[in-house]
Structure 1
Amino acid sequence: MASGLHKSEVSNPVLRWIDARLPVVTMMQKEYGTFPTPRNFNYFWNFGALAMVNLLIMIVTGIFLSMHYTAHVHYAFDSVERIMRDVNYGWLLRYVHANGASMFFIVVYIHIWRGLYYGSYKAPRELLWMLGVVIFLLMMATAFMGYVLPWGQMSFWGATVITNLFSALPLIGQDIVVWLWGGFSVDNPTLNRFFSLHYLLPFVIFGVVFLHVAALHITGSNNPLGIDPKGPQDTLPFHPYYTAKDSVGLVAYFAFFAILVFFFPNMLGHPDNYIPANPLVTPAHIVPEWYFLPFYAILRAVPDKLGGVVLMFASIAILFVLPWLDTSPVRSMRFRPLARPFLFTWLVSFFVLLYCGGMPAEEPYVTISRVATAYYFLYFLVILPLLGRLERPLPLPESIARPVLRGGGPLPAGAVGKPMEKA
């Protein structure tokens, strides 16, 4: 072999020739073939792969939709209707893309919940978690701009309400609003820049996902027990074990996605968005898409506009410092019987906020939102730090292999590695 070439072990001669000069196949085999992963993953670990698949679906359908969409206030609504009626399978592209946003948030919310329950944000995975929060923020920005593009009533008024929030910032708030609008109201410049950014940001998300996966492969995956692998008996190669398991999850995901697209395509949207945008007619009840409702409820729970904006952004920013707020040395909630009910109560408060965010800003929803908002922050800022000092966790297993291979029972001395040899 010529000097400087990589020694490829690929059997196919064409792939071997390429791999010797650009070892992509070897890298993929190392990172997604022989990569050692904990042997006790459950189906919650499918959702990272599902999020990646969902992102690719959104990018591909978005590219094809952009070929037929016109980013102009006079033509945007009609161009969407043309996609639905005249473009071959345009209705399918549009429904997959619109419902794909909801599916993306469902998958990511479950992915975040798994991280909270199993302590995947703790050392040494702090940067991995923070990159995940960056992805979440970019998703929210992309989804908000995409919701404006159909230029229906809810698109226009949602953009007006949300962008106006920045006017609450002292000194620079109004300048930021004018910069976002590209003028003195939500109009054609706003639609143009939102379309440009909505097209660009998914590729930025893809770049951050690459960093997210790279950080994961440096620190290794967490697992349901929250303990580090002690040796080869605690791990399995990613392929074929977890590629097969992810495939099962992928089939279930596509089945649910197909039911949503073909039978309930407008269930998660708002009917007012099938009315062309009219700056002179305000909808009776302006609401964002369902995945923003918890944060919208937090915004409305505070009577002061600036306070509501600060608290809404703080509800996401607090996730960045979560690895340092949780002071417990134990990762998994399986071994934290005192902390577990508090976490489930936090989950209930999140769903309460989601429900109240979709209701009118009146009693009793405002008071309920305030109580749920108080607990949302109380859990992170007070309960978690105190529990880390006061709680006595259950004893942790000696290794991942013991509970996996013996149903939680003890193994005979020296027998931990033997079952793995058979596997």
Structure 2
Amino acid sequence: MRLLKTHVLLRMLNSYIVDSPEPANISYLWNFGSLLGVCLIIQILTGAFLAMHYTPNVDFAFNSVEHIMRDVNNGWLIRYTHANVASFFFIFVYIHIGRGLYYSSYKSPRVLLWSIGVIILVLMIAIAFLGYVLPYGQMSLWGATVITNLLSAIPVFGQDIVELIWGGFSVSNATLNRFFSLHYLLPFVLAALVIAHILALHVHGSNNPNGVTASGDRYAFHPYFIFKDLVTIFAFFLVLSILVFFYPNLLGHSDNYIPADPMVTPPSIVPEWYLLPYYAILRSIPNKLLGVLAMFGSLFILFILPITDLSRIRGSQFRPAMKLAFWFFVVDFFILMWIGSQHPNTPYVEIGQISTAFYFSWFLIIVPLIGISENTLIDVATNKYKN
């Protein structure tokens, strides 16, 4: 029985890692899936070691992080690696999603694959927010206070939900304990979703950059794509090493090196850089409830893309209008990221509102209209050819 189980396991590994057929023309843009897997493994391992020395208590959390940095052997290395890989995690996932948008990887028959990916993104953001609170610096405390207090906009039960999350009437020791527990446990849920994502990918394989669905001209995953993945993995380790050893605080916020003080409000309360676009969407809408709905809607709107993209052509390789629209969307995303880091004053508020309107219009108006116009042109060209 044991030999049979081992045989089944080896057959599965061979099917997924060795003999899995992949399109011959996929580029290095398809390597970000493996990079994300490496990031997840690093985060789980470093997080487990950090948890051994971290104290989830409002009186000791900040000092326990300093203890890790100064007193634990190589603690500074583990902590800086954990913090910086979190940023790389989001860099890679945004590029991964951008590639999916450009090449229409969300279209049938990969709708399930895309949907699991969107759930992974939402869970990643939740885990990142929980982790941002744990060092319990100034930005941790006030970021947690502002973001959790958004739920008070929910009619009737909003304030009760906020107090349930806080475990009291403000961000306190109970809040920190809950955030620590969730931040430790949810990555394992994320790992399970990643496995489901890989299983869904294996059913139909990777999307072809040219938009064709033919099964011909494919190579085995090993050794061709294994070695291709190793190129970018080693490049990632090189860049990560430079960042950890020479610029460890480049992507962090200086206010988080000040112990949390509920009596002193920072000049500007901002989340980590990778959450700034959603924060900009939240602030661009004056109504609190609508702002919260827009912020969550900016993530969940990715689910409807397989429905709103009406084009019969897969990908943007041979679609000039869609290609232009995609790059406008990328620029808009970066503008939202910049707006999220600014004070909510004129003209930043107005720019944020315009960018938010374009963000939602891209999914609900621009993509469907381009698809309809392309389908019409195809039908006209087909009729002319027949006549």
- Give secondary structure in 2 for the equivalent of 1:222: coil
Gaps in structure 1 of 5+ consecutive residues: 6-16, 396-423
Deviation at 1:19, TM superposition (A): 5.8
**TM-score normalised according to structure 2 size:** 0.95
Deviation at 1:160, TM superposition (A): 0.1
Residue in structure 2 matched with residue 98 of structure 1 by the alignment: 83
State whether residues 336 and 394 of structure 1, in contact with CA within 8 Å, keep that contact through their aligned partners in structure 2. Answer: no
Query: For residues 249 and 393 of structure 1, do their structure 2 counterparts lie closer, same or farther at Cα, with a shift above 3 Å needed?
Result: farther
Does 1:239 pair with 2:222? Answer: yes
Deviation at 1:386, TM superposition (A): 1.1
Correspondent of 2:260 among 245, 267, 277: 277
The CA distance in 2 between the partners of 1:330 and 1:262, in whole Å, is 46
* Letter of the structure 2 residue corresponding to residue 82 of structure 1: H
The CA distance in 2 between the partners of 1:248 and 1:393, in whole Å, is 43
Residue in structure 2 matched with residue 157 of structure 1 by the alignment: 142
Deviation at 1:229, TM superposition (A): 2.5
Correspondent of 1:375 among 333, 355, 358: 358
Deviation at 1:23, TM superposition (A): 2.3
Correspondent of 1:205 among 179, 186, 190: 190
1:238-317, aligned counterparts within 5 Å?
Answer: 238-317=221-300
Deviation at 1:171, TM superposition (A): 1.0
Query: For residues 393 and 227 of structure 1, do their structure 2 counterparts lie closer, same or farther at Cα, with a shift above 3 Å needed?
Result: farther
Gaps in structure 2 of 5+ consecutive residues: 379-387
State whether residues 38 and 229 of structure 1, in contact with CA within 8 Å, keep that contact through their aligned partners in structure 2. Answer: no
Task: Give per-residue Cα distances to partners, 1:71-115, cap 9 Å, x unaligned.
Answer: 000100000000000000000000000111101000100000000
State whether residues 19 and 25 of structure 1, in contact with CA within 8 Å, keep that contact through their aligned partners in structure 2. Answer: no
Residue in structure 2 matched with residue 116 of structure 1 by the alignment: 101
Residue in structure 2 matched with residue 401 of structure 1 by the alignment: none
* Letter of the structure 2 residue corresponding to residue 265 of structure 1: P
State whether residues 327 and 385 of structure 1, in contact with CA within 8 Å, keep that contact through their aligned partners in structure 2. Answer: yes
The CA distance in 2 between the partners of 1:159 and 1:192, in whole Å, is 13
Query: For residues 237 and 181 of structure 1, do their structure 2 counterparts lie closer, same or farther at Cα, with a shift above 3 Å needed?
Result: same
Residue in structure 1 matched with residue 159 of structure 2 by the alignment: 174
* Letter of the structure 2 residue corresponding to residue 157 of structure 1: W
Residue in structure 2 matched with residue 216 of structure 1 by the alignment: 201
Correspondent of 2:315 among 332, 354, 359: 332
Task: Give per-residue Cα distances to partners, 1:279-306, cap 9 Å, x unaligned.
Answer: 0000011100000000000000011111
The CA distance in 1 between the partners of 2:182 and 2:309, in whole Å, is 35
Identity over aligned residues, as a percent?
A: 57
Does 1:88 pair with 2:64? Answer: no
The CA distance in 2 between the partners of 1:130 and 1:392, in whole Å, is 25
State whether residues 311 and 375 of structure 2, in contact with CA within 8 Å, keep that contact through their aligned partners in structure 1. Answer: no
Does 1:36 pair with 2:21? Answer: yes
By relative contact order (CA 8 Å, sep 6+), the higher-ranking structure is 2
Query: For residues 319 and 20 of structure 1, do their structure 2 counterparts lie closer, same or farther at Cα, with a shift above 3 Å needed?
Result: closer
- Give secondary structure in 2 for the equivalent of 1:333: coil
Query: For residues 331 and 393 of structure 1, do their structure 2 counterparts lie closer, same or farther at Cα, with a shift above 3 Å needed?
Result: farther
Residue in structure 1 matched with residue 383 of structure 2 by the alignment: none
* Letter of the structure 1 residue corresponding to residue 318 of structure 2: F
* Letter of the structure 1 residue corresponding to residue 149 of structure 2: N
Deviation at 1:34, TM superposition (A): 0.8
The CA distance in 2 between the partners of 1:230 and 1:90, in whole Å, is 49
Deviation at 1:262, TM superposition (A): 1.2
The CA distance in 2 between the partners of 1:104 and 1:319, in whole Å, is 19
The CA distance in 2 between the partners of 1:205 and 1:95, in whole Å, is 22
Residue in structure 2 matched with residue 365 of structure 1 by the alignment: 348
Query: For residues 394 and 36 of structure 1, do their structure 2 counterparts lie closer, same or farther at Cα, with a shift above 3 Å needed?
Result: farther
Deviation at 1:230, TM superposition (A): 3.7
State whether residues 337 and 393 of structure 1, in contact with CA within 8 Å, keep that contact through their aligned partners in structure 2. Answer: no
The CA distance in 2 between the partners of 1:393 and 1:341, in whole Å, is 19
**TM-score normalised according to structure 1 size:** 0.87
1:3-152, aligned counterparts within 5 Å?
Answer: 18=3, 21-152=6-137
The CA distance in 2 between the partners of 1:230 and 1:53, in whole Å, is 29
